[in-house]
Amino acid sequence: MRYIVVGAGAVGGTIGGRLFQSGHDVVLVARGAHYDALRRDGLRLATPASTETLDIPAASGPVRLRDDDVLILAVKSQDTVAALDPWPRHLPVVCAQNGVANERMALRRFDHVYGMCVWLPSSHLEPGAVTAYGAPMSGMLQLGLYPGGTDELSEQLAADLRKSFFAGSAVPDVMRWKYAKLLGNLGNAYEALCGHAPGHEPILERVTAEGRAVLNAAGIAYASPDEEAARRGDQVRTEPVGGDPRGGGSSWQSLARGSGTIEADYLNGEIVLLGRELGIPTPANEVLRREANRSARERLLPGSMSPQTLAGLIDAHAAASGAR
C-alpha cells in the first residue's frame, strides 16, 4: 500500500516518517511554509534515539493516484471537511485524529472509513520538523472500521505499523477506545489556557466528571483508564529528545504556533453538545471550549490565563446556568 498522509504535522509527520523509514511508500500532504520546507529539505524527524532528515515525497494537494492508495487523515478536526474535499470518494480514509466526530464527517463523503485511536506524544512547532517523544515505540495506534469491525485493510495497516516503531493493532471496537481518549483530551484546553501551572486537579476532575456523566447518560461505551494503561503498558513512554521535554499537547501547540484555530469544539465541545441534547449541564467544558477558541482567535500564547481566573469563569457560568 501507499500511504498518503493528509496533514503532516506532529501525528501525521511521525506516522508518515516512521512508515517511510521502514520501507513503505509514503506521500506527505501539507500546506504553506511546512509544505515548502518538506519539498525543499525533507522531513526532519527527531526521536529519543536519533534525528534523521527523510526525503519523503510531499504535495500540497491531490496527487496521481494508485490502486493501493490509503488516505491517513491527520489534520485537526476543524479542518477535516476542507482537507477531504479534493480527494476521490473511493479512497479508504483512516481518521488518525482526536475526537469522535471525524469518522462520521468522512463517512458522509467516502465509502470506506476507519477510526484510529492515537496515543503518540509528538510536536510540530516549526516548518519541516516533527519531534516524536515516545519510546521504545513512537506511539500506540489502534484502528478499525467505522462504526465497528475489522477487515483485511485494517489488519494490513496494523501489521505495517508494528514494523514501523508503533504498537499497532486492529480492533473491532475502535470508537470505544476513541471515546476513552476523548475523556483524556478534555484537559487539552486547560493546558493551552493555563500551561503547566499548579492547580489543575480540581478543574480537570470537573471536566472529566462532566464527560463521564454525559457519556454514561447517552449509553456510549468507553474503555476504562485501567484498560488503557494495561494496553499501553511500557510500550510508549514519553522521553526527552535532545535533552528537551515535550512542551505540550496538540492544543498547546496550536496556541504556540499562533495558528488562529484550536480543536476545542470537537473535544470539550463534544461533551457540551451531548449535554445539551440530554439536558445535562456541562459548565466546565463549555467555559474551556469558549476560552480556548477565544485565545486561538486572539493568538494568545499558551499559559496566558491563571487557573484561578479559569476556575472563577467556570463557577460564574455554572451559577448563571443554574448548574452546581
CB 77 within 8 A of CB 97: yes
pLDDT at 179: 98
Mean pLDDT for all residues in the chain: 96
> What is the homologous superfamily of the domain 2-172 according to CATH?
NAD(P)-binding Rossmann-like Domain (3.40.50.720)
Above 80 in pLDDT, residue 160? Answer: yes
Above 80 in pLDDT, residue 161? Answer: yes
pLDDT at 323: 66
Above 90 in pLDDT, residue 97? Answer: yes
Residue 167: all three cell numbers together: 504498537
Above 60 in pLDDT, residue 324? Answer: no
In the block, cell 453538545 appears at 273
For 18, 180, 254, 263, 296, the CA distances from 257, given in Å and listed in that order, are: 24, 27, 5, 14, 10
> What is the homologous superfamily of the domain 178-221+243-321 according to CATH?
N-(1-d-carboxylethyl)-l-norvaline Dehydrogenase; domain 2 (1.10.1040.10)
What pTM, to 2 d.p., does this model score?
Answer: 0.96
Above 90 in pLDDT, residue 198? Answer: no
In this predicted model, what pLDDT tens digit does every residue of 233-285 receive, in sequence order? 999 999 999 998 889 999 999 999 999 999 999 999 999 999 999 999 999 99
| Local structure of 34: helix, strand or coil | helix
Q: Is 2-172's fold the same as 178-221+243-321's?
A: no
- Closest listed residue to residue 8, CA positions, set 30, 31, 37: 30
In this predicted model, what pLDDT tens digit does every residue of 282-300 receive, in sequence order? 999 999 999 999 999 999 9
Domain coordinates in residue numbering, the chain: 2-172, 178-221+243-321
